[in-house]
Amino acid sequence: MPSEESQDIEQATTKIAPITEGQPDSKTRRYDRQLRLWAASGQSALESARLLVLSSSATSTSILKNLVLPGIGHFTILDDATATPEDAGNNFFLEGPSSIGKKRAEEAVRLLGELNDGVDGKADARNVEEVLAKGVEGEEWLKAHTLVIAHNLQQSTLDQLSDVLWKDEDAPPLVVVRSAGFLAEFYIQFHEHTIIESHSETSPSLRIDKPFPALLEYSLSLDFDNMDPTDHGHVPYVIILVRALEEWKKAHDGSPPSTYPEKQAFKKQILAMKHKQDEENFDEAEGQAYRCWTPTVVPSEIKALFSDPKLAALSATSPPFFYLLHALKRFVEEQPQHSLPLSNTLPDMKASTGAYIELQKMYKTRAEEEKSIFKSYLPADVEVDESMLDAFVKNVHAVKVMRGKQWGAVDKEPKTLANFIQTSPKQLAIHLALSALANLITKQQPNAPLTPTIESLTVEAQALLPSGTELPEEEWANAVGELARAPTADLPNTAALLGGLVAQEVIKMVTKQYVPIENYCVVDLIETWTGIL
């Protein structure tokens, strides 16, 4: 039980306080490393999630292991299978011979639960066909989950499940995983996925070419010639560039450097401001000089979002994200700088602590002012959580709207598949082999032994391509040979890699942070590579 002096996750990740005010509580200590990746908001989303996993195979339990450990809120394994000797030999979440003959889902849930006592797990000894057969009742039960994961589900059942979840835009995403031997692929079916915290490597603009009044005034007020030598060597490069650019514009009719000779001359002007040769802040300013002639504009990816059809049809049921996006569009169009709201995030730079803090205060004050203006563009009757508003403004340079396709859509487009022969032959060969195997399994008699041949798999793969199209010879031979050798093998090492890859993408979808994979992610553990189709 936490002590009275302990802090919860929200406090520990957002509050700045002396360590004497209390140490992080046990939950914060447990999840310390991942909180550095997705903070309290991401952890809260993870703990609120309810996952449905169709199968308790070695791959499924490996995926769940990597979701239970970081603290997924609840998971249900839907599986009517009884553990076999083969299961006991390849599934780390079965207790060897003692699990044989028992319900596989119940055994897996029990052992997965030992990894994290804060996670709620449940075994459901039905199969997905029973759920789908219940019609609306079954569909509503499926939709009550945050996300559905299906591993090696029979093709006809998978198609039916995909249709049920695709016909409703509010239905949960479906993660389809297929594997055989050392080859695998997975795909995320979703209608729409909005991301505020994409954790882009692109930094927000510092607006050096369009300095806000306080920044410009401060830069012009400094007496560089008579400044203390120590202070002179620790002026942040932002201040140096704003000052140098203003002096350049005065001598060049208000225009920034544009030609190559002008840019070189501008850099020499910056270096000429040095008092001593070892003043690294001026070297840093010279290296960042491109910011002076690179105009601060709205990134094309963000500008494209302003044409999103949902902005023209906002209603009481519209997600808050699109109200924020609409407010951003108005802010950019109506504010004089015609740029995104200023971020208070500054990069590291050569500067004294005092000078850096002074610069940070200026950016923070201006960012708060612009956030207030941005907030005024939101309708008065629309409630947007303050933390969501803060996150949106902070990450506005990299917000995203992703729209996906239904599972299996590409297999209904023979010409698209044929184009991949030239661009992605290895990925295509594995995808076609897995699709061919799934089609063969659907056609065979119930309970008959699965013995696909290279010839039968090739026929099924050719049927997915336009008539007369040749399969990529070498790549196809490698892929089809592995599936003919091990059509039903759920290998522990393949399961382990898929467990990490799929769990990572599930976390992205649940937390709405980072950018998930689009299209098929193909895995080849024979040649040890992954690729996107």
Show Cβ contacts of residue 213 under 8 Å, excluding neighbours closer than 6 positions: none
- The answer to whether residue 121 sits within a structural domain is yes
Residue 36 and residue 169 in one domain: yes
Average pLDDT, the chain: 92
- Whether the per-residue pLDDT at 20 is higher than 60: the answer is no
Residue 393 and residue 338 in one domain: yes
Domain boundary among 379, 404, 429: 404
Q: SS3 breakdown of the chain: % helix, strand, coil, rounded to 5?
A: 50, 10, 35
- The answer to whether residue 13 sits within a structural domain is no
For the chain, the domain total comes to 4
- Whether the per-residue pLDDT at 31 is higher than 90: the answer is no
Residue 271 and residue 394 in one domain: no
Which two tokens mark 215? 């920044």
Residue 224 and residue 339 in one domain: no
- Whether the per-residue pLDDT at 450 is higher than 90: the answer is no
- Domain of 125, CATH number, reads 3.40.50.720
Residue 470 and residue 512 in one domain: no
Residue 433 and residue 391 in one domain: no
3-state secondary structure of 388: helix
Longest pairwise C-alpha distance within the chain? 91
pLDDT, position 22 = 60
Tell me which residue of 171, 233, 245, 234 sits closest to 206, measured CA to CA: 245
- Whether the per-residue pLDDT at 19 is higher than 60: the answer is no
The strand ranges marked E within 67-216 are: 74-78, 120-124, 147-151, 174-180, 183-189, 192-195
The pLDDT tens digits for 204-225 are 999 999 999 999 999 999 999 9
pLDDT, position 21 = 53
How far, in Å, are 115, 116, 281, 507 from residue 69 at the CA level?
6, 6, 45, 12
Which two tokens mark 413? 């487009």
Sheet holding 521-524, edge to edge: 120-124, 74-78, 50-54, 147-151, 174-180, 183-189, 521-524, 529-532
The pLDDT tens digits for 293-329 are 999 999 999 999 999 999 999 998 899 999 999 999 9
Residue 397 and residue 415 in one domain: no
The range of the structural domain enclosing residue 344 comes to: 300-351+371-404
- Whether the per-residue pLDDT at 23 is higher than 90: the answer is no
- The answer to whether residue 8 sits within a structural domain is no
- Whether the per-residue pLDDT at 3 is higher than 50: the answer is no
Kindly report the pTM of this predicted structure. 0.89
Residue 181 and residue 328 in one domain: no
Q: What is the mean pLDDT of residues 339-350?
A: 92
- The answer to whether residue 366 sits within a structural domain is no
Residue 60 and residue 185 in one domain: yes
- Whether the per-residue pLDDT at 452 is higher than 70: the answer is yes
Residue 434 and residue 398 in one domain: no
Cβ contact 124:77 at 8 Å: yes
The pLDDT tens digits for 461-504 are 999 999 999 999 999 999 999 999 999 999 999 999 999 999 99
- Whether the per-residue pLDDT at 35 is higher than 70: the answer is yes
Residue 414 and residue 340 in one domain: no
Strands 174-180 vs 183-189: parallel, antiparallel or unpaired? antiparallel
